[in-house]
Amino acid sequence: MKVVGFWYAETKRGKRILVATLIYTVAALIFAIAVVGVDLYHIWGDLYEVTEVLAAVIPVISSIIKLSIAIVRRNELIDLIVFSEKNFWNVKYDSFGQRILKQCEKRSIIVLGSMAFTVQGTVISYLIKPLIENYRLNGTDRVLPFRLYVDLPLSVTPYYEITYLIESLSTIHTGIVFLCFDNLLSIFNVHVVAQFKILQHRLETLCDECVHHVSDGIPVTRGPHLAANEKYSEDIFGKNVILKTPTDCVKSRIQQNHADLGKTVNDKLKACVKHHLFLFDYIERLEHVFNQMLFCQIGVTSCLICFAGFETFLAGRLVFIFHFLASIFQTLIFTWTCNEISLESAKVGEATFRSKWYLMPTSEAGTSLRNSLMLITIRSRRNCCLTAGKFHAISLQTFTNIMRTNLSYLSVLRQMSEET
């Protein structure tokens, strides 16, 4: 995110660097869309050439749209990063929370590594392809990663080297912009899933301490001197009073123990409810910042997978294999992480049921606890989710729908190619 100019800075120098980085990012994207747009205009009419260029145009357009949305919501995005770092990433957890966070870190590394490998593999394939072709041509005519229609001797030194460097930098930065926002959202989602698991564990163990320390009945040995423990006796002033027996004292201590532990459990329950509401608010903030980006991603992914698949399997250009895999893998990761949020938020109700609420005493505190757990269970029936432009909830079903649509598009392109 720092490479594209979206991060927080505490010093003026750091802010100036981020602004300069953002300006460079915008310039790189403008150059990229100008190059591929002009190329698309000149080769329009040839199906194979058009699909090849469209496979490069669509990621650039997607990157521009995502960057534009991020610029409009720059403050909200940076606040979300700072908020996550303060409340998720730099927080001390218990042993269970630390174990969950380690799993979360492993998943984040897999997500980051996999998406970066496939996307940057696509970028490298674009940059290596002209070098291979130049080696075959033996230097007679040198090829650039993307065709330029300018009146300059671009195949001659130093024009070729300068142009190749500019196109390479623009391509690399476009690839970074294309994956960085999806990577960030996936990392946010993975941490939200971890927080839901921590909340479930707290709810499951909510009543354990009370169950271990409280029992509803404690047997008391009654000796001969307790035979008349319910009788009245005369005090020194001649008045009738009720004397407390050992059994009464034990019952009083049990009631006091019930009340104290019941208060402790209710305090823990309040903390769990606050944690639950905190996650609801956080997901709403994610939805506000990323719902339009998700809509854009869902919209372009179908076309991108279709064109990359056509170039890979029908046109026989295996250099697009990374392009095809990157498109599928990127779609799979953000739909999977969004689906995990939906599943884990629904499991909160199951965690409340697994807590030992049925062993709580039948006191006022125990009744209040059971009623509160019932409300949490009812609320959990409406699971949390992220949407694409507030139109459709993102889940693994979304991924299957996209793949099914792509197969239809590929069959149409195959028929068109056979007719031509």
The pLDDT tens digits for 179-191 are 888 888 888 888 8
CA atoms of 88 and 90, how far apart (whole Å): 6
Confidence band (pLDDT; 50, 70, 90) for 217? very low
Write the CA distances from 290 to 29, 58, 284, 367, integer angstroms. 20, 19, 10, 41
Q: What is the mean pLDDT of the chain?
A: 79
Q: CA 73, 74, 79, 85: dihedral to nearest 10 degrees?
A: 120
What pLDDT, on the 0 to 100 scale, is given for residue 373? 82
Q: Taking residues 11-39, report their average pLDDT.
A: 89
Residue 392, φ and ψ in degrees, nearest 5: -145, 135
What pLDDT, on the 0 to 100 scale, is given for residue 261? 58
Q: Taking residues 46-63, report their average pLDDT.
A: 84
Asked if residue 30 has pLDDT above 70, the reply is yes
Select the more confidently predicted residue: 91 or 15.
15
User: pTM for this structure?
Assistant: 0.80
Q: Which residues contact 61 (CB under 8 A, 6 or more apart)?
A: 33, 300
What pLDDT, on the 0 to 100 scale, is given for residue 251? 45
Select the more confidently predicted residue: 93 or 62.
62
